[in-house]
């Protein structure tokens, strides 16, 4: 006999899970925030240092609901009210992936501006090498993060069943 499963969406799953174990949402939300804080700390440790350490200190793990104006990278919008994420200064993209040579002269974004900047030798930025510190850190931590959230859900289920 084969086991079949029917996908009904996140809302239906959470409704059913909340019926079985009322504390699931609470424990999962706490675990998600802890995971985000720990991921932010790991990324902070691996972040490039500047003269002021301002970028490195900008990492924080917070609820997405507390940061409605921040853009999410690498995932679609979530319906999870307790979703957490890692936030940092906007320059993380340039540090993570690097930049190519580009003109910084006034009007340097145009073809004529680039020609003038190249001819004068002024206003050309040589670009920066990639310094990956966010995505490699997350890939290394993702399995542990998932296990912590699953453990929180299992704890709520065991508590509801009277076993823990």
DSSP states along 82-105: T-EEEE--TTHHHHHH-B--EE-S
Place of tokens 């993702």: 142
Mean pLDDT, the chain, whole residue set: 86
Could you report the per-residue pLDDT of 85-102, keeping only the tens digit for each?
Answer: 999 998 999 999 999 887
Question: pTM to 2 decimals?
Answer: 0.80
Domain-by-domain residue ranges, the chain?
23-70+82-88+134-164
Q: So what's the pLDDT on residue 164?
A: 60
* Mean pLDDT value across residues 41-68: 91
């Amino acid at each position: 006999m084969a086991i079949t499963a029917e996908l009904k969406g996140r809302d239906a799953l959470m409704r059913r899970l909340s019926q079985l174990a009322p504390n699931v949402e609470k424990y999962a939300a706490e675990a998600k925030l802890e995971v985000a804080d720990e991921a932010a700390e790991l990324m902070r440790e691996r972040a490039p240092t500047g003269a002021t350490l301002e970028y490195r200190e900008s990492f924080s793990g917070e609820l997405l609901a507390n940061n409605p104006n921040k853009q999410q990278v690498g995932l679609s919008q979530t319906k999870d009210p307790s979703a957490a994420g890692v936030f940092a200064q906007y320059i993380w993209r340039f540090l993570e992936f690097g930049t190519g040579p580009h003109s910084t002269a006034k009007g340097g974004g145009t073809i004529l501006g680039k020609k003038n900047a190249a001819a004068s030798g002024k206003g050309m930025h040589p670009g920066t090498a990639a310094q990956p510190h966010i995505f490699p850190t997350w890939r290394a931590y993702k399995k542990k993060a998932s296990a912590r959230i699953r453990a929180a859900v299992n704890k709520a289920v065991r508590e509801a069943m009277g076993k823990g």
